[in-house]
Amino acid sequence: MPRRAPLTIGTAPLTALEVVAVARDGVPVTLSAEALAEIAASRKVVEALADDVEPHYGVSTGFGALAVRHIPVEARVQLQRSLVRSHAAGNGSEVEREVIRALMVLRLATLATGRTGVRTETAVAYADMISAGITPVVREYGSLGCSGDLAPLAHCALALMGEGEVRDADGVLRPASEALSAAGITPVELAEKEGLALINGTSGMLGMLLLASADLHRLLATADLAAAMSVEALLGTDAVFAADLQALRPHPGQADSAANLRALLKGSAIMAGHRAEATTRVQDAYSLRCAPQVHGAARDTLAHADTVAGRELAAAVDNPVVTIDGRVESNGNFHGAPLGYVLDFLAIAIADVASISERRTDRFLDVARNHGLPPFLADDPGVDSGHMIAQYTQAGIVSELKRLAAPASVDSIPSSAMQEDHVAMGWAAARKLRRAVDGFTRVVAIELLTAARALDLRAPLAPAPATGAARDRLRESVAGPGPDRWLAPEIEEAVKLVASGELLAAAESVTGPLH
């Protein structure tokens, strides 16, 4: 990875942007002196309990339903090793590198609070593994999202022990022992309590929530851009987006979306050319007229999810936990319900915003509703099919998004001999949200591709400066109207421009930053 200034992790919460920077940009990490001092202080508490003749959960006992067994001192190193090995039971496809790095930096941030009781050398080695770009292989299935993301985190702890498989900084699959040696990192032999501290957290679901949020802030603004281009090219009216009308229903997301639409449509010659006609049509279809209400509701959902994520970033999730006054206490803070709910909620919002996007796209293709455009925006209708099948692709994705909107967090499968009898399924909610974000990106891209073609077909009337800038950026990569071409690469190019934020940036070069 390119060398970058490290992120210093202290006892204060990380920000969402810091987590994303480590996850996606390969930013290395280091622990502050304050964090190291807190880690050392809590370790003394654990070591004092380790010498106690009385059993203490997580320190001198088994785990889960086996917590009733007191483990003698000579077997405790094996206890930690066995815990990690047995819990590293994930299965299925490899989880994405950015997710694993997000999971690891969030776990490290909890270790840095001093509430987990690990040794300083263990926390430092974990930080070194992140900084070296060593990414443990984590599998898709295995977490029930309750006692933290046990299996995913266990695969990371296994790598720290020098076991299992990892991807190195170049993405090459290697044995963990080999990759650690190449990076100059000594495998860790875990001591009392450390196995639990490394695997007992909601780090995976939180990491995926933060990554999804970063994408959705950009995508919802891009959905406003797509809606603006569609309203414009379908000869809709912008009068319904007036600030005073929106203020009659004071949802903040709705106000922001409407403000974006007004800014994007400002100065449109297309809209100016049909204002008198628009007043005689009385009102536009819901997919045009109600865009701020739907997009705004999704924004408000995202704001709620960000609030939950912020609270979780400030949390020190472990069981047992070392309290500030030096007690070691069992608790239920590892349960993933708060995250599972908002992960599912975002999938619902995505499905609906994608659905309204598909309805706008469909209007372009129907001569009964597109106000003078050719059927399917085809160059020679009948000979050419235009964007007919692009809408099929979009509709297929929207249908999938509706299935992904079915909540995972309402399910629960008991485990650990009924000790863990109610689980959160937050990991599953996060996994399907990632798929939903990808589908949403593609749906918005197809609307933009179709709307840009329709704007071209409205010539010689010119679009608004902002929507025109987005159209022009698309035209640098995708040709304008003409006879049918191989469409799949053009759709994929539009997807890339949406995912990278380039189309949004083109519009914002005119409007300034959108909400």
Amino acid residing at 185: I
Question: Would the CA dihedral through 117, 114, 18, 310 be positive or negative?
Answer: positive
Burial of 123 (0-12, 13-18, 19+ CB in 10 A): buried
**DSSP symbol at 239:** G
Annotated catalytic residue 57: yes
Check if the beta carbon of residue 302 is closer than 8 Å to that of residue 216.
yes
C-alpha 193/C-alpha 214 separation (Å) is 34
Residue 322 DSSP code: E
SS3 321: strand
Three-state SS at 60: coil
Q: Tell me the two tokens of residue 51.
A: 């010498």
Do the strands 139-141 and 91-94 form a parallel or antiparallel pair, or are they unpaired?
antiparallel
* 61: β partners: 70
Report the run of H or E that residue 127 belongs to, with start and end: helix 120-131
Asked if residues 386 and 314 have their Cβ atoms less than 8 Å apart, the reply is: no
* Buried-state track 148-171, b at ≥16 Cβ within 10 A, e below 16: bbbbbbbbbbbbbbbbbbbbbeee
Other CB atoms within 10 A of residue 438 CB: 14
Cα separation of 266 and 465, whole Å? 8
What is the 3-class SS of 74-119, one letter each residue? HHHHHHHHHHHHHHCCCEEEECCHHHHHHHHHHHHHHHHCCCCCCC
CA atoms within 13 A on the CB side of 197: 29
Q: Which of 57, 126, 286, 341 is catalytic?
A: 57
Kindly state the helix (H) or strand (E) to which residue 166 belongs, with its residue range.
strand 165-167
* Rg, the chain, Cα only: 26
Is the peptide bond prior to 463 cis by the omega test (within 30 degrees of 0)? no
Closest CA to 42 of 121, 124, 125, 119: 119
Cis geometry, peptide bond prior to residue 252 (ω within 30 degrees of 0): no
Q: CA–CA separation, 290 vs 510, rounded Å?
A: 24
Q: Which residues are catalytic?
A: 57
